[in-house]
Amino acid sequence: MSDASTIPIDQYRQTLAESVHFSNKTINSNIEKGGIRLAKSQALDLPYISARTLLADDITIPTDYQANAGKTATIFKAIKSAMLDEDLSEQDDDFKTVVNTIQPDIVSLFDTPYQAGLEHINIRMRQLLLPKSDDYLSISPISSAGVNHWLNDEVDDIKEARKTDNDLHSITTAVFGIGGANPQNVGSLVRAMQRPIYLTAPTANDTIRQAFSLYYKGLDYYIPNKLPKDKLVQPALLAWADLVNQGIATTEKHLNNQDWKNKGIEATSTNMDSREVEQQFLTHILRIVLAQGREAKNSLEQVADRLPNITKISNEAYDENTGEMVSKEMVALTPLQHPSVDLAIQGLIDTQLRDEGWMTVFAEHLAKSIVRQSYEVEGQSNPVAFVLEDSTIPFLARRIRGLLYDLQELAS
């Protein structure tokens, strides 16, 4: 039997008391020592693997020394054996005595949290700046060598079981260099951090991604700029575009029409031929835009059970009367769209919102989109292009609104 009085137990207890779950040295082996040890009270019951969640499952996460100085690494061999409950049959009596003596200290080690060397963050510590209120919070991510050690044991057990059970998935580990030429300077468990699990990147679910984009941003519909080839319609369409552009410009300048303009009524001269080609042009665009709305609705309904349930939000808006930003509450009109999405787009997607108010808003929204691009009508040789001016927006909105009223099947 060994004489316990000759063993420096106080050194073992001091090294154990200063051991940590998270060591600064794992970031940079040349950094000043320091780290954090968790307490049982900091356990977190969540469905993922971390030091805090393993504590919630009553799993002992081994700690490690902050820095290798003097006999620290040698002393910690006994501490590590005690923590991991290793087989001591081949160890000498002194080693066994130390392990048995410090066992009670390990039981109480996790009663209170502990940290050291964190009064000043070393410039070599990696930092993430996270916005918080009007300032930033500096975060330094550190891995726990003890968690890596526990995870490696689990992986080894699965690999061993897979030799007789082909239903188990293969787990691939990679090689990660840490600690430089002498990893022991970082910690006794550092080698456990050199075997990261290799995972392939998750595949994107385009259906869900598109649906969430539609939910939060709405539909950015497109206006077809390639019109169907029609030799008979082409001259009339070009004439109509010129008539509308010139007619609106004339109406705006004519003093006798100012009262009409002030009431939001833009007008231009027309005839049956121009009205017919106008209706063909706008109906063609309207059909394609409404079809995009139906397609967007189908995409949202496919994952409706995964969409957020946001019933109302507080949104800031500019008040032209007071010249100040005011808070305005917005209530969800449909479970398929975030409350902040434009009403014109919400009704384009959800037909339940298509009342007269929506028709007015949507008609203006579509009219603004129509005048923002050029159109091409294919003829026998080269395409012929025309552009509608911004001044035609009120006129086009009124025409679109009329189509929505007259052709109800387009709005359903």
Residue 256: pLDDT above 70?
Answer: no
Average pLDDT (152-177) is 86
Tokens 């290793």 correspond to 86
Nearest CA to 151 out of 82, 187, 197, 186 is that of 197
CA gap 364, 400 in Å, rounded: 8
Residue 411: pLDDT above 70?
Answer: no
CA gap 203, 217 in Å, rounded: 23
Tokens 């390639």 correspond to 226
Q: Dihedrals φ, ψ of 23, to 5°? A: -110, 140
Single-letter residue type at 387:
V
Average pLDDT (136-165) is 90
Residue 5: pLDDT above 70?
Answer: no
Assign 260 a pLDDT band (cuts: 50, 70, 90). Answer: very low
Q: How far is CA 113 from the centre of its chain?
A: 33
**Residues facing residue 20 across a β-bridge:** 64
Q: How far is CA 107 from CA 39, 65, 135, 139, in A?
A: 11, 17, 41, 30
- Number of other CB atoms surrounding residue 48 within 10 Å: 7
CA gap 318, 353 in Å, rounded: 26
Assign 43 a pLDDT band (cuts: 50, 70, 90). Answer: very high
Tokens 């009596």 correspond to 93
Average pLDDT (266-282) is 74
Structure tokens at 85: 């409950």
- Give residue-wise pLDDT tens across range 309-338: 888 887 776 677 777 777 778 888 999 999
- Give residue-wise pLDDT tens across range 124-147: 888 889 998 889 998 888 999 999
> Quick check: 194 and 178 in contact, CB under 8 A?
yes
CA gap 314, 329 in Å, rounded: 4
Residue 212: pLDDT above 90?
Answer: yes
Report the predicted TM-score, pTM, of the whole model to 2 decimal places. Answer: 0.54
Ranking 58-72, 147-161, 243-257 by mean pLDDT, the lowest is 243-257
- Give residue-wise pLDDT tens across range 338-386: 999 999 999 999 999 999 999 999 999 999 999 878 888 776 566 677 8
Per-chain mean pLDDT for the chain: 85
